Structure 1
Amino acid sequence: MTKRRIFMAGAMSGLLLPSIHAQTGTNTRIRNLRVLCGFPPGGATDAVSRRVSDKLQGSYADVSLVDNRPGAAGRIAIDELKRSKPDGSTMLLTPAAVITLFPHIYEGINYKTDDFTPTSTACQVQFGFGVGPGVPSSVTDINSYLRWAKANSGAASYGSPATGSLPHILGVLLANQSRVALNHIPYKGSAPGMSDLLGGQVPAFSGLLGDWLPHIKTGKARLLATSGKERSALTPNVPTFAELGFKDLVMSEWYGFFLPKGATKETANAAADAIAKAVRQKDVIDAFAQLGLEASASTPTELGIRMKEEFRLWETTVQKLGIKIEI
């Protein structure tokens, strides 16, 4: 397989002054906070990083800056986190898949859940599967799409933001559970994939719910099903896969903040409290909603349990699917 190009960007660690940890009782104060983001500026992960980082400045830290380290499926940012001191001055904001799914899919990844100190989730998101003008207007739900795909096997393709992404896996699971062959077309992000969907070059797309919101409002695309346990408040008229007969096709993704391994319980709790206060503010909730994200905080313990449970779940699922990707 073609190896992914690895590149580094925005190495700002040298621009930051050394952090100062001044503790008084249970209060922890950071002079300079660095929020690592393993994806380039402009995407959902970067947007979440910046929204929360802005709120942490003046509360958790005197100065808070986002440090984008894109490449290698998030591994570059994780390697930087692992090199950082566990004093609360460096955090990583990452989608769950980077920690819970990618170690099972990507060859050459050598990190595990024990390499991170959980703090708090920031938000969660459902996925959506839908079609564009390349599919007849008679296709209005997932079952009618599958009937069309079975009758038009040569055209039964779906796009996703990337090979190995959760939207890709969603399509694989849909094909397995429906026993309808669906050809996967990977893109470098959601934007080019949605562009091809709207242009009719690819008939269907699996992506973050936020990818769909601007287009279903204009009628240019049809969202057929969402992946949550319940219907999303952002798309209340769109049924879930479970409602449509796919009981086991329930999937969502959270975005979480992590400290380096070795951070104390007090440091993790202080970070979690500050993050929770940030994501409960109305302007953050509204900004997340525009991206299809639902603000959601947790305790370090809750995030740690969820992370390890999903790590084990994806290990079993990936073994069954037999998917391996070379970075």
Structure 2
Amino acid sequence: MTTRRHFVQSASALAALGTLSPLIARAQGVDQVKIINGFPAGGTADATSRRIGEQLRGSSYTPNAAVVENKPGAGGRIACETVKNAAPDGRTLLLTPFSCTSVYPHIYSKLSYDPFTDLMPVSIAAVMHHGLAVGPMVPATVKNVRDYVAWCKANPDKASYGSPAAGSLPHFLGALLSSYTGVPLTHVPYRGSVPGVTDMLGSQLASMFTPSGDFLANHKAGKIRIIATSGPTRSPFSPEVPTFAEQGFSELTTEEWFGFYAPAKTPSSIINSANAAINATLKNPTVISSLGTFGLAPAGSTVREMDKSQRDAYFRWGPLVKHIGFTGMS
């Protein structure tokens, strides 16, 4: 690209002046940013990383589009540990749901990272509602949550639900539904949403809890049916679907966000630059529209607002995790 070529040529020429090179480096920001997320390509985490990352080009933070690297596995913990160990120079960001930073500390006694000391909040990126969907294995007469619970009770050998990871909020929503109704539901964890949705489409899995955006395309095509969403109000992306609260399950009301983090000890000047660039990107109509196709609502924040939200979620989910009784292996 002409702009990129001009930047390289100019930087090379100015570098020869020696004493001016530090000033030029600071003026241009971070040369190349990598966004790491812990989930497979094709899902909501991947979409958020790519849609925002490509629009960072030309900001005061970085002259180039960010490179996205997927590190699926361990429910996103591998990605968190990777960023924890990265150099605190602004070149590496983590994009993760708050499950990894606010819920996992209650689950794993030997978590490989401390969300409050090893990672620095940068900005909330997007808010999502989770959904419960059923696939072809479940008869068309199942139209709502109570129908689903009754069907599971009558078909215990098929009463299973998938989630994008053990210990994720979708996992716990299924566990809470099981606890509050007294109907056993078998949890099937996946490495992200996409493999679980694929199994549900193929009638290998009855149902799934996951970000509702991961269901939207197949729901609109009539291949699966979203029967409830977790937000305090109906999702604008599937307004025909009632919330859990509307159906008598207010305990399952929750929202979750994806947020950007940097390694601890990243200079505040870089954090602030990244925050400003991300928040500007979230006002871009192209980004808003693109994220909307995945059921995501852009929601920027200050660093302090994100830190408070993370801590609020931590204190809310602690008692619920204890109620569910789930403990993950380190």
Report the TM-score, using the length of structure 2 for normalisation. 0.84
Counterpart residue number, 1:101: 103
Does residue 1:117 correspond to 2:149, yes or no? Answer: no
User: Rg larger in 1 or in 2?
Assistant: 2
1:6-58 Cα deviation digits (max 9, x unpaired): xxxxxxxxxxxxxx975999x78222323232334443222221221211121
Q: Give structure 2 stretches of 5+ with no counterpart.
A: 1-20
**Deviation of residue 324 (structure 1)?**
1.5
Task: Spell out the pairing of 1:1-327 with structure 2 (5 A cutoff).
Answer: 22=23, 29-59=29-59, 60-63=61-64, 64-110=66-112, 111-327=114-330
Q: Which stretch shows the higher mean deviation, 310-319 or 148-157? A: 148-157
The answer to whether the 8 Å contact 1:275/1:297 transfers is: yes
Q: Secondary structure, in 3 states, of the residue corresponding to 1:120?
A: strand
The amino acid that maps onto 1:90 is T
Q: Alignment partner of 1:273: what SS?
A: helix
Quote the offset at 1:138 in angstroms.
1.9
Alignment partner of 1:285: what SS? helix
CA-CA distance at 1:98 after TM superposition? 1.2
- Which SS does the other structure have where 1:276 is aligned? helix
Q: Is the Cα contact below 8 Å between 1:21 and 1:87 reproduced in 2?
A: no
Which shows bigger deviation, 273-282 or 29-38?
29-38
Between 202-211 and 263-272, the greater mean CA deviation after superposition: 263-272
1:211/1:40 CA distance change after superposition, 3 Å: closer
Structure 1 SS opposite 2:251 = coil
- Structure 1 pair 84–136 and aligned structure 2 pair: CA distance change class (3 A): closer
Number of residue pairs aligned between Structure 1 and Structure 2: 307
Asked if 1 retains the 8 angstrom alpha-carbon contact of 2:39 and 2:192, the reply is no
Unaligned runs of 5+ in 1: 1-19
Looking at secondary structure, tell me which structure has more strand per residue.
1
Q: Residue 127 of structure 1: CA displacement?
A: 0.9
Give yes or no for contact 1:133–1:197 (8 Å, CA) kept in 2: yes
Task: State the identity %.
Answer: 40
Q: 1:282 Cα deviation (Å)?
A: 1.2
Deviation for aligned residue 1:242: 0.8
Structure 1 outlier segments of 4+, above 4 Å:
20-25
Shift in Å, 1:261: 1.7
The corresponding residue for 2:5 is none
CA distance in 1 between counterparts of 2:280 and 2:182 reads 45
CA RMSD of superposed structures (Å): 2.4
TM-score (norm 1): 0.85
Question: Counterpart of 1:233 in 2: which secondary structure?
Answer: coil
